């Protein structure tokens, strides 16, 4: 059966000299270069490609391009496996593997076909009612059944090995679609000097010119298309993209286009991406997306072998392939006669069934002149053939065309149907265009535009070649003139095409006498005429509701072939005209897009930069385990030998309490603040007073949001009269800068202050522990490190080896501690220097875990407590709040809810057994044995192992916390099934007087 459905001509676009082997459902076939998977299968006589969504009915190809609703296949296997690919859009490559989906065990014998027999269980809205009762059946029976029976292909479980890229483009005019109007507008715009992108979904430019027998100027349509493309190719202001689908139209003329870069190449270079997603911001978009032929609804109109007439023609003309050798042409208009003529050219006599009473169109006459008789005033009532159509029941329509009067059975192997044409308005509609109904063509066309988008040609309802070309040249020139001053119009050449008579407004055939076969409207979603009738009978009136209840026009298909027929049928039942019924919303993407293309290179680390401190290499060399803090990589702990994390962290923290530790704090946010109003600005930003901070002193500050919640905290020092150095937490550094800029630029522009991030200009090294003073005295012999010389919250400038260093006496660990700041480039040098001198003081590096342990023990708050839900009172920072001055957020603090005495406040928790660590996030409750719901008193924000007392310790924020100190409560974590009896203690667990930092 090898390629027995090929035509003998060679006028198409396939290369019969190059054979390509492929596999479908395990069988090896061959096609030719230029074939799609669809055309190659049809050439091999294969029409049965899948099973329908709900009823598992055998389905074949309906279309030839993006409109194909049935032929969705699973491509490749393993990590390249890809579901729901439209076979008509797949170019054949050597070794391609494809298989049917939604069938089991095979497409020929599918167990799910029982759904077809039991179809009373699958009417419209079956999701909503059939499976709603009894409730207990849902999880065990209905859901697994639906999952197995319905559903499309299988998503691969392995990582996608292919590479996808994103590209950003700008142009004056984007032309979508390269049919006659698209080519004309691109040529006119480009000749007028505009920057043009022309996008074509198919592998060949030309659209309908590749299949229509027309002349333009003195050339055939096909020649004119290729001549125009050569002209465009030679122009530097034009980008031509084939295999590229513009699938989405978003705000401000942003369109998104998917380019299939190497899907059609047998062995692409590893540097070639598989697909590329283009974000195109266009000055103007020309929508020349053409039109799609409509099917006709008749009994069993979904059997394999029943195709659109235009698809049959394209298979013959472009792919040199016959959809069948005993065709019936079934139409309500003239265009299908060109398909009939194409069959005749291949020595095949079609049977022609036309619903109309007559037609004098040129093509109709031509067919008649060839001696073919036409069955006018007739329709197809029903079809037969289980896995492939083998006959049709043709009936004579009565005068009302509401029933058949005579029926005859006719053998056939395919039906080529045409219900007229629907402009492809998806992109215009996505762009916000309010569509209007055009009575002449019985379809919606773009009308009132919201964005810079213009539909032309068939997409605009202009179905004649003359009109399409005229619109194309005119619009291309007009729009390009907005961007250039060349004023150089291009005239439309003369063209010639057959004349067409009007179609008949008839898309749904009556039922055959005594039978009720399904007449499908939406093939992909398995929606038949009876489903629409049912939805309306059950009271669904809005077309949007009918859509959702029946699933008509949903999912990947977006109603390409079904939308208008559905609307026509609703309007017929409702006895309303179609514009009153309205239309549903078209949503992007117009065609399915691979997730890989949307993700692009944002895989793995998501293309984000990694921020490393200048000391990073030392951490690596010294066995640091890193943790991500935003973009930063920070040492979490430094295990020695076989130490686990807890052992290492406890050792590091204990060494700070006993000797001295060193910690890289370069990641802290740093902001340089300068200007005569800088003190006043800080006074407004922070809750405490700043005007009188002496030069050379640091101060701890807390800032709030206007709603009174603590926003951030840090130490800020005064370097000179009008110059301050602010530090922020690592996490909030960027937000604090935006916050300061907001107040300076928007709220108080009168303040003369400048702010600048200096986070990356300084490297910070914390030196903490009782031996830190001795260490630094040795390192900086010229500096008076005594408590009087450099008191707590003091700072001093010094240098070693000519490197300037600023030494702050500040502490996060609660120990006597300093922070040495040097220019970033000297961070590593200074770190090594401190380590070297520190050897005799038993110095050890400590990471973020030990840093946390030390601050938790001391009851110092951090991000876990400052979670955007706490005011200063809640976290023990009330003493930081000035009563004398106003500041950001102060007014909120006097609101009723913020002054209630039993607010949730910060406390410490120790487990009664002194052993069990309390998971962070645990709930605090009073009575462990109470019946749920148990009132929650608060939650655990931070937990550590106290190295001071050698038992677990946590910080919690609980209702009326101060008055709960000394009480026993429970910390519970229902997810972990944990309940821990705890004692409430002060959050200042170690050195509550704060004597160490001042020692």
Partner 1 sequence: MLEIKCPYCGKRSQNEFSYGGDATIKRPQLGEEISTEDWDNFVYYRDNPRGKHSELWHHVSGCRQWFKVSRDTATHEIFDTCKMNEDFNV
Contacts with partner 1 by CB under 8 A lie at 250-254, 279, 281, 432, 450, 684, 706-707, 738, 741-742, 745-747, 749, 885-887, 891-892, 895-896
Say how far apart CA 287 and CA 459 lie, in whole Å: 7
CB of 720: closest distance to partner 1 in angstroms? 24
Between 254 and 880, whose beta carbon lies closer to partner 1?
A: 254
CB 748 → partner 1: shortest distance, Å? Answer: 9
Nearest Cα to Cα of residue 832 among 817, 848, 820 = 820
Return the number of the residue (450 or 692) whose C-beta is nearest partner 1: 450
| Helix, coil or strand: residue 118 | coil
With beta carbons less than 8 A apart as the criterion, state whether 681 and 673 touch. Answer: yes
Name the minimum Å distance from CB 707 to partner 1: 5
Of the candidates 133, 152, 150, the one whose C-alpha atom is nearest the C-alpha of residue 75 is: 152
Contacts 24+ apart (CB under 8 A), 434-441: 435/583, 436/579, 437/577, 437/578, 437/579, 440/502
Query: How far apart (Å, rounded) are the C-alpha atoms in residues 677 and 690?
Result: 12
Element (H, E) at 368: helix 362-369
Alpha-carbon distance 343 to 83, whole Å?
A: 34
Least distance (Å) between residue 278 CB and partner 1: 13
Instruction: State which residue, 782 or 896, has the beta carbon closest to partner 1.
Output: 896
CB of 667 to partner 1, least distance (A): 20
Angle at 310 between CA 308 and CA 315, to 5 degrees: 95
Three-state SS sequence of 449-466: CCCCEEECHHHHCCCCHH
Which residue lies nearer to partner 1 by CB, 355 or 451?
451
The residue written with tokens 């709220």 in the block is 747
Which lies closer to partner 1 via its Cβ, residue 134 or residue 749?
Answer: 749
CB of 685 to partner 1, least distance (A): 12
Quick check: 286 and 454 in contact, CB under 8 A?
yes
Q: What whole-number distance in Å separates Cα of residue 296 and Cα of residue 311? A: 14
8 Å CB contact between 253 and 452:
yes
Cβ proximity to partner 1: between 170 and 692 the closer is: 170
Exposure of 145 in the CB half-sphere (CA atoms within 13 A):
16
Closest contact distance (angstroms) between CB of 742 and partner 1 is 6
Residues contacting 268, CB < 8 A, separation 6+: 261, 262, 274
Query: Closest CB to partner 1 among 548 and 684?
Result: 684
In contact, 341 and 366? CB cutoff 8 Å: yes
- Euclidean distance between CA atoms 413 and 388, whole angstroms: 8
Find out whether 47 and 304 touch, Cβ atoms under 8 Å. yes
**Closest CB to partner 1 among residues 22, 690:** 690
Nearest to partner 1 of 752, 983 (CB atom): 752
Shortest reach from residue 182's CB to partner 1, in Å: 25
Closest CB to partner 1 among residues 20, 431: 431
Q: In whole angstroms, what is the distance from residue 995 CA to residue 997 CA?
A: 6
253 or 391, CB closer to partner 1?
253
Least Å distance, CB 706 to partner 1, is 5
- Shortest reach from residue 250's CB to partner 1, in Å: 6
For partner 1, the closer CB: 133 or 742: 742
Per-residue tokens: 735 = 């937000």
Taking the complex as a whole, the smallest distance from the CB of residue 526 to partner 1 amounts, in Å, to: 36
Kindly report the length of the chain: 999
* CB of 868 vs partner 1, minimal distance in Å: 14
How many angstroms separate the CA atoms of 125 and 395, rounded? Answer: 32
């Amino acid at each position: 059966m090898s390629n027995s459905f090929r035509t003998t001509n060679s006028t198409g676009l396939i290369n019969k000299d190059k054979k390509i082997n492929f596999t479908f459902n395990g069988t090896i076939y061959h096609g030719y270069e230029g074939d799609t998977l669809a055309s190659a299968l049809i050439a091999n006589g294969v029409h049965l490609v899948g099973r329908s969504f709900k009823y598992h009915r055998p389905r074949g190809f309906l279309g030839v391009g993006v409109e194909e609703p049935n032929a969705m296949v699973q491509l490749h296997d393993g990590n390249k496996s890809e579901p729901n690919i439209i076979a008509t859009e797949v170019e054949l490559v050597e070794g391609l593997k494809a298989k049917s989906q939604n069938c089991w065990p095979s497409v020929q014998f599918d167990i799910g076909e029982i759904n077809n027999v039991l179809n009373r269980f699958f009417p419209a809205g079956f999701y909503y009612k059939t499976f709603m009762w009894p409730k207990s059946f849902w999880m065990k029976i209905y859901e697994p059944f639906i999952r197995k029976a319905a559903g499309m292909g299988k998503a691969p479980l392995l990582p996608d090995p292919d590479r996808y890229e994103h590209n950003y483009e700008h142009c004056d005019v984007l032309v979508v679609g390269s049919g006659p109007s698209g080519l004309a507008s691109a040529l006119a715009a480009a000749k007028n000097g505009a920057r043009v992108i022309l996008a074509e979904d198919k592998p060949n430019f030309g659209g309908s010119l590749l299949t229509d027998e027309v002349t333009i100027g003195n050339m055939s349509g096909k020649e004119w298309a290729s001549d125009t493309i050569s002209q465009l190719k030679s122009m530097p202001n034009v980008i031509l993209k084939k295999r590229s689908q513009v699938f989405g139209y978003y705000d401000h003329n942003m369109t998104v286009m998917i380019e299939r870069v190497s899907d059609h190449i047998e062995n692409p270079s590893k540097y070639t991406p598989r697909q590329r997603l283009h974000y195109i911001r266009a000055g103007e978009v020309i929508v020349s997306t053409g039109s799609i032929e409509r099917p006709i609804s008749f009994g069993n109109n979904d059997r394999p072998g029943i195709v659109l007439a235009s698809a049959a023609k394209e298979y013959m003309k472009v792919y040199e392939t016959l959809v069948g050798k005993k065709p019936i042409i079934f139409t309500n208009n003239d265009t299908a006669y060109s398909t009939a003529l194409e069959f005749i050219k291949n020595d095949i006599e079609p049977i022609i069934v036309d619903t109309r009473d007559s037609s004098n169109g040129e093509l109709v006459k031509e067919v008649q002149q060839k001696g073919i008789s036409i069955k006018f005033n007739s329709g197809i009532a029903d079809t037969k053939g289980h896995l492939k159509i083998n006959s049709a029941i043709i009936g004579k329509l009565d005068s009302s065309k509401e029933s058949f009067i005579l029926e005859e059975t006719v053998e056939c192997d395919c039906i080529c149907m045409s219900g007229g044409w629907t402009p492809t308005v998806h992109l215009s509609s996505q762009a916000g265009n309010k569509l209007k109904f055009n009575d002449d063509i019985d379809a919606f066309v773009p009308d009132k535009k919201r964005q810079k988008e213009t539909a032309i040609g068939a997409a605009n309802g202009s179905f004649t070649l003359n009109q399409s070309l005229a619109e194309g040249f005119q619009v291309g020139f007009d729009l390009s003139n907005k961007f250039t001053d060349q004023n150089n119009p291009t005239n439309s050449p003369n063209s010639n095409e057959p004349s067409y008579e009007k179609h008949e407004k008839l898309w749904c055939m009556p039922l055959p006498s005594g039978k009720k076969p399904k007449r499908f409207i939406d093939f992909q979603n398995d929606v038949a005429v009876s489903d629409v009738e049912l939805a309306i009978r059950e009271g669904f009136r809005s077309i949007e509701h009918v859509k959702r209840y029946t699933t008509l026009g949903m999912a990947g298909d977006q109603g390409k072939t079904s939308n208008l027929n559905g609307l026509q049928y609703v309007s017929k039942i409702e006895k309303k005209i179609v514009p009153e019924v309205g239309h549903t919303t078209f949503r992007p993407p117009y065609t399915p897009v691979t997730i890989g293309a949307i993700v692009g290179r944002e895989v793995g680390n998501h293309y984000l930069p990694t921020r490393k401190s200048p000391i990073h290499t030392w951490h690596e060399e010294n066995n640091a385990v890193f943790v991500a803090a935003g973009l930063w990589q920070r040492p979490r702990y430094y295990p020695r030998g076989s130490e686990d994390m807890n052992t290492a962290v406890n050792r590091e923290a204990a060494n700070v309490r006993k000797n001295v530790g060193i910690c890289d704090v370069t990641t802290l946010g740093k902001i340089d603040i300068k200007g005569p109003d800088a003190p006043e600005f800080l006074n407004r930003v922070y809750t405490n007073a700043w005007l009188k901070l002496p030069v050379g002193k640091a101060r701890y500050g807390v800032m709030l949001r206007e709603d009174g919640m603590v926003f951030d905290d840090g130490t800020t020092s005064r370097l000179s009269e009008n110059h301050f150095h602010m530090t922020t937490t690592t996490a909030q550094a960027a937000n604090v800068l935006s916050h300061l800029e907001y107040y300076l630029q928007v709220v108080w522009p009168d303040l003369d202050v400048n702010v600048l991030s200096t986070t990356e200009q300084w490297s910070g090294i914390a030196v903490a522990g009782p031996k830190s003073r001795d260490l630094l005295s040795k390192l900086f012999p010229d500096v008076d490190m005594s408590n009087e010389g450099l008191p707590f919250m003091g700072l001093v400038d010094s240098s070693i080896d000519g490197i300037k260093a600023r030494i702050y006496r500040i502490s996060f660990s609660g120990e006597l501690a300093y922070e040495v700041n040097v220019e970033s480039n000297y961070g590593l040098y200074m770190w090594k220097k401190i380590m070297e001198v520190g050897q005799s003081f038993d110095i050890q590096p400590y990471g973020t875990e030990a840093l946390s342990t030390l601050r938790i023990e001391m009851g110092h708050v951090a991000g876990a407590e400052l979670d955007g839900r706490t005011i200063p009172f809640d976290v023990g920072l009330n003493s930081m709040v000035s009563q004398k001055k106003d500041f950001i957020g102060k007014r909120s603090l006097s609101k009723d809810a913020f002054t209630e005495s039993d607010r949730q406040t910060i406390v410490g928790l120790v487990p009664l057994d002194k052993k069990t660590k309390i998971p962070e996030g645990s709930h605090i409750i009073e009575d462990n044995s109470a019946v749920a719901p148990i009132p929650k008193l608060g939650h655990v924000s931070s937990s550590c192992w106290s190295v001071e007392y050698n038992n677990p310790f946590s910080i919690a924020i609980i209702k009326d916390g101060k008055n709960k100190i000394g009480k026993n409560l429970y910390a519970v974590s229902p997810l972990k099934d944990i309940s821990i009896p705890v004692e409430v203690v002060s959050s200042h667990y170690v050195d509550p007087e704060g004597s160490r930092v001042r020692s």
